[in-house]
Structure 1
Amino acid sequence: MRRALALARQADGRTSPNPMVGCVVVKDGRIISEGFHEHIGGYHAERNALIHCQEDPAGADLYVTLEPCCHTGRTPPCTDIIIEKKIARVFVGAMDVNPIVAGKGVQILRDAGIEVTTGILEDDCRKLNEVFEYYMTAHRPFVDAKYAMTLDGKIATASGDSKWVSGEASRKAVHRLRRHYKGIMCGLGTVLSDDPMLNCRIADGVDPVRIVCDTHLRMPANAALVKTAKDIPTWVLAGADADADKRAALEAQGVQIIPSELDTSGEIDLKKALAVLAEREIDGILLEGGGTLMGSMLKAKLINKVHAFVAPKIVGGSGAPSPVGGVGVDKMSQAVQLNGVAVASYDRDLCITGYPVYTE
Structure 2
Amino acid sequence: MAHALALGRRGLGRVWPNPAVGCVIVRDGRIVGRGWTQPGGRPHAETEALRHAGAAARGATAYVSLEPCAHHGATPPCAEALVAAGVARVVAPLQDSDPRVSGQGFAILRKAGVEVTTGVLAEAAARDHAGFFLRITRGRPFLTLKLALSLDGRIATATGESQWITGPEARRAVQGLRACHDAVLVGAGTARADDPALTVRDFGDVGQPVRVVASRLIDLPLMSQMARTAAEIPVWICHGPDAPPEKRAAWSGLGARLLPCALQAGRLDPGAMLHALGQAGLTRVLCEGGGQLAAALLTGDLVDELQVFTAGIALGAEGQPGLGVLGLSRLADAPRLRLVDISAVGGDLRHVWTRHEKA
Q: Same fold (TM over 0.5)?
A: yes
In structure 2, C-alpha distance between the alignment counterparts of 1:49 and 1:250, rounded to whole Å: 42
State the TM-score, normalized to the length of structure 2.
0.94
In structure 1, C-alpha distance between the alignment counterparts of 2:29 and 2:177, rounded to whole Å: 37
In structure 2, C-alpha distance between the alignment counterparts of 1:165 and 1:286, rounded to whole Å: 19
2:144 counterpart SS class: strand
Preserved contact between residue 27 and residue 61 of structure 2 (Cα < 8 Å): yes
- Could you list the structure 1 runs, at least 4 aligned residues long, displaced by more than 6 angstroms after superposition: none
In structure 2, C-alpha distance between the alignment counterparts of 1:250 and 1:100, rounded to whole Å: 36
Q: How does 1:126-165 map to 2 (within 5 A)?
A: 126-165=126-165
Indicate the residue corresponding to 1:213 in structure 2: 214
Structure 2 residue 20 is matched with structure 1 residue 20: yes
User: Aligned partner of 1:234: which letter?
Assistant: V
Superposition deviation, residue 255 in structure 1: 2.7
Structure 1 residues 336 and 266 mapped into 2: Cα distance closer, same or farther (>3 Å)? closer
Preserved contact between residue 32 and residue 55 of structure 1 (Cα < 8 Å): no
Preserved contact between residue 212 and residue 237 of structure 2 (Cα < 8 Å): yes
In structure 2, C-alpha distance between the alignment counterparts of 1:41 and 1:336, rounded to whole Å: 35
Indicate the residue corresponding to 1:324 in structure 2: 323
In structure 2, C-alpha distance between the alignment counterparts of 1:54 and 1:260, rounded to whole Å: 49
User: Aligned partner of 1:72: which letter?
Assistant: H
2:125 counterpart SS class: helix
Aligned residues: 358
Q: How does 1:204-283 map to 2 (within 5 A)?
A: 204-263=205-264, 265-283=265-283
Indicate the residue corresponding to 1:305 in structure 2: 305
Indicate the residue corresponding to 1:78 in structure 2: 78
Preserved contact between residue 216 and residue 243 of structure 2 (Cα < 8 Å): yes
In structure 1, C-alpha distance between the alignment counterparts of 2:348 and 2:74, rounded to whole Å: 42
User: Aligned partner of 2:212: which letter?
Assistant: I
Structure 1 residues 159 and 92 mapped into 2: Cα distance closer, same or farther (>3 Å)? same
Superposition deviation, residue 349 in structure 1: 1.2
Superposition deviation, residue 120 in structure 1: 0.8
Preserved contact between residue 41 and residue 75 of structure 1 (Cα < 8 Å): no
Indicate the residue corresponding to 1:344 in structure 2: 343
In structure 2, C-alpha distance between the alignment counterparts of 1:142 and 1:100, rounded to whole Å: 21
Indicate the residue corresponding to 1:89 in structure 2: 89
Superposition deviation, residue 359 in structure 1: 5.8
2:65 counterpart SS class: strand
Preserved contact between residue 213 and residue 238 of structure 2 (Cα < 8 Å): yes
Post-superposition CA distance 1:300-344 (Å, at most 9, x none): 22211111111122222x221121111342233433222252112
Post-superposition CA distance 1:96-129 (Å, at most 9, x none): 1111111111122111111111011111122122
In structure 2, C-alpha distance between the alignment counterparts of 1:219 and 1:170, rounded to whole Å: 28
In structure 1, C-alpha distance between the alignment counterparts of 2:300 and 2:286, rounded to whole Å: 16
1:193 counterpart SS class: helix
Structure 1: segments with no counterpart, 5+ residues: none
Preserved contact between residue 150 and residue 313 of structure 1 (Cα < 8 Å): yes
Indicate the residue corresponding to 2:44 in structure 1: 44
User: Aligned partner of 1:327: which letter?
Assistant: L
Q: Percent identity?
A: 38
Preserved contact between residue 36 and residue 48 of structure 2 (Cα < 8 Å): yes
